[in-house]
Amino acid sequence: MALRLIHFLFVLLSVKTAYASQIDSFRQCRDCSAAELDMFFDTSSAPDTSFKLIHAQGSLGPVILFHGLTDSPYYMKDIAEVYFRMGYDVYSPLMEAHGAAYGELSTIQNTQWNQQVEKYISLLHGRYKRKVILGGFSNGGLVSTIATIAAPTKDKILSLLLISPALGLPPKAWIAYKFLKAFDRLAKKFDIQSLYELRRKIWSMPVKTSEYEDPRGRVRSPIMQLNGPFQVARNIEMLNSMSRDKSIEIPVTVVLTSDDTTISIPKVLAKFRSLLGTRKHLVWLQSPSAKMPSVLHRLPPEELTIVNVDRTLSHSITLHKSGLTINEDNPEFSRVAAVLEHSSVRKKNECTSFYSSIAMSK
């Protein structure tokens, strides 16, 4: 019994040491000016790798930003800059089975992503002795939400930013997931080699992504194996199970776009109303061509900011080419950034929600 306990502690320490080593090896920009940040991101020969933005003389605490499925930390660079300018140290890790290891997406398990998120939260919470701000886009938003409910991490999180979070899938995608899940159970139940081989081929089926090849290197995976979205759906199912009769009471900012068909907007809005507590705010980007959901009209004014845009915005603020960018082609970002500057702001070791910040400023 004692030997088993020693072995368990040794494995636990090894895993913690491995993640600590990973964080220490993140590409780093220390006390960088705006120009230096541009150079940091634009001159990298490996833009899809993990990075951190650090204040040499102390900060308000740690922020961790998680990217979406087949994306990379590069997609979070301008969100990272917003938090960095607010006084936080910002970390954006490369998720497992991404970047150069995108081929491993055919065998990744949803629990591996959740464990990765848990380790980063626990490690930085321990280093800073402060709660962590989490932010995530799409699948990154999903794993961040799970972390706010999971027992090992829920008390270590200060606030949450969810950009087009994958908290629900469209009906056709969910039906496909249920079919694949049934086939998966069948293969395991009958333990037939031919079914296992067919299962392996199905899970490895490539689905082409809208890859963007940066002149300095890839910032998004060129293909997505079918197992990737399958594991996202598994995590959604896990979240649904974990969140029954629960409420997230920390400040949460959610950003959604009216034209998003990758995720289920009705399901995400349902989660916004049922899962998130009283300290929440929705930033809704409304295009001229899309119909505004009626549920938005039932939200209290202090919970909603509507940003009218003159073009179609799909799955995110806009993720064309260089990601969530601050430039003349993406005027909506400045509106979202303004909300972030009012939300999750730590003052005297406390976190002020978006709407109370607005109220105090009036």
Percent of the chain with pLDDT over 70: 80
Q: Cα separation of 72 and 218, whole Å?
A: 9
Question: Per residue in 44-102, pLDDT tens?
Answer: 878 889 999 999 999 999 999 999 999 899 888 888 988 999 899 999 999 999 988 88
Question: Per residue in 207-234, pLDDT tens?
Answer: 865 555 554 567 888 889 999 999 999 9
pLDDT confidence band for 287 (50 / 70 / 90): confident
Determine the average pLDDT of the residues in 276-293: 91
pLDDT confidence band for 355 (50 / 70 / 90): very low
**Residue 58, helix vs strand vs coil:** coil
> What's the token pair of residue 301?
């004014």
Q: Number of H helices and number of E strands within the chain?
A: 11, 15
Q: Which CATH superfamily is domain 24-361 in?
A: Alpha/Beta hydrolase fold, catalytic domain (3.40.50.1820)
Cα–Cα distance list, 73 to 21, 99, 128, 139 (Å): 18, 9, 22, 13
Task: Count CA within 13 A, CB hemisphere, residue 124.
Answer: 31
> What's the token pair of residue 194?
């031919």
Q: Answer whether residue 362 shows pLDDT above 80.
A: no
pLDDT confidence band for 335 (50 / 70 / 90): low
Cα–Cα distance list, 313 to 71, 121, 257, 261 (Å): 18, 31, 6, 10
More confident position, 344 or 235: 235
∠ Cα 277 248 268 (to 5°): 80
pLDDT confidence band for 3 (50 / 70 / 90): low
pLDDT confidence band for 263 (50 / 70 / 90): very high
- Where do the domains of the chain lie? 24-361
**pLDDT score recorded for residue 7:** 47
More confident position, 356 or 269: 269
Q: Answer whether residue 358 shows pLDDT above 80.
A: no
pLDDT confidence band for 185 (50 / 70 / 90): confident
**pLDDT score recorded for residue 214:** 53
**pLDDT score recorded for residue 193:** 83
